């Protein structure tokens, strides 16, 4: 799971940077200006994989998701997510994850379905992340799961039903809790940070 999280975060970080103009930030980042809570709200949207904690209200199914996908995703991902000019197929490959011919798709790779929702909400469409409504995000997530044979076309995806899906690759990752480090973060009465840069 640690690997999955790292992979997904890496993807998100790249997209976030490249799409700064479409970000919901109230004001641009300014060096030296303290970050205040309202600036963080739009990014404080993480969803926990195993149980979906943090998934928002709303719902959608693959039928409505197809319409969202055709309008907002197919230009890069191809019709029926079979691969387009910007990305390869997002369908199939289930069971290939642990082979030397792995085909990485949400169906073959993601250990938890809520992670797919989280990724799409955070990062897609590439040119306008966070522009989909929650219902649209549930719907397009349902569509991708349906294309991978994991949910029926009319299955309503919401915070409960999405978290209840058992993804085929759920057990394909190993836990890496970094046993090689024993650093403990100080939370109170900490020594002041030593810094070589003089305060302005
Ligand atoms: C402008 C092109 C573009 C559009 C439009 C777009 N995507 Fe993407 N998408 C990409 C690219 C490029 C990546 C790979 C990003 C990366 O690896 O950092 C990606 C990655 C993804 C992934 C991750 C796939 C994986 O294997 O983990 C998902 C899921 C996804 N897109 C869904 C969507 C959905 C849903 C939409 C429409 C709402 C959409 N995308 C619209 C370009 C696009």
Q: What distances in angstroms separate CA 103 from CA 108, 112, 120, one per listed residue?
A: 7, 17, 19
pLDDT of the residue at 121? 97
pLDDT tops 60 at residue 96: yes
Tell me, using a 6 A CB cutoff, whether residue 115 lines ligand 1.
no
pLDDT tops 50 at residue 148: yes
Centre of ligand 1 from the C-alpha of residue 77, in Å: 7
pLDDT tops 70 at residue 13: no
Nearest 10 degrees: Cα torsion 133, 136, 142, 143: -140
Residues 6+ apart with CB under 8 A from 109: 4, 93, 97, 169, 172
Nearest Cα neighbor of 170 from 91, 97, 102 is 97
- For 51-60, the pLDDT digits (tens) are 999 999 999 9
pLDDT tops 90 at residue 17: no
- For 149-160, the pLDDT digits (tens) are 999 999 999 999
Residues 6+ apart with CB under 8 A from 199: none
- Which single residue is written with the structure tokens 């997530």? 141
Residue 36 CA to residue 53 CA, distance in Å, equals 24
**Residue nearest to ligand 1 atom 2, measured at CA:** 76
pLDDT of the residue at 32? 87
**Residue nearest to ligand 1 atom 18, measured at CA:** 11
Confidence of residue 6 (pLDDT cuts 50, 70, 90): very low
27 vs 134, residue with greater confidence: 134
Contact (Cβ atoms closer than 8 angstroms) between residue 110 and residue 169 = yes
Q: Average pLDDT, whole number, for the chain?
A: 86
* Tokens coding 110: 């993601």
């Amino acid at each position: 799971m640690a690997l999955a999280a790292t992979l997904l975060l890496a993807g998100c970080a790249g997209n976030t940077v490249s799409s700064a103009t479409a970000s919901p930030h109230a004001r641009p980042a300014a060096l030296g200006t303290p970050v205040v809570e309202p600036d963080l709200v739009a990014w404080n949207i993480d969803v926990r994989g195993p149980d979906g904690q943090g998934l928002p209200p709303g719902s959608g199914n693959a039928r409505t998701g197809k319409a969202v996908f055709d309008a907002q995703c197919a230009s890069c991902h191809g019709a029926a997510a079979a691969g387009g000019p910007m990305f390869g197929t997002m369908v199939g490959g289930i069971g290939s994850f642990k082979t030397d011919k792995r085909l990485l798709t949400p169906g073959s790779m993601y250990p938890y379905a809520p992670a797919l929702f989280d990724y799409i909400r955070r990062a897609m469409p590439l040119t306008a992340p966070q522009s989909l409504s929650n219902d649209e995000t549930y719907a397009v997530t349902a569509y991708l799961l349906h294309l991978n044979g994991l949910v029926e076309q009319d299955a309503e995806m919401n915070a409960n039903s999405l978290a209840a899906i058992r993804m085929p690759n759920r057990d394909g990752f190993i836990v890496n809790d970094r046993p090689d480090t024993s650093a403990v973060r100080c939370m109170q009465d900490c020594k002041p940070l030593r810094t070589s840069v003089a305060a302005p």
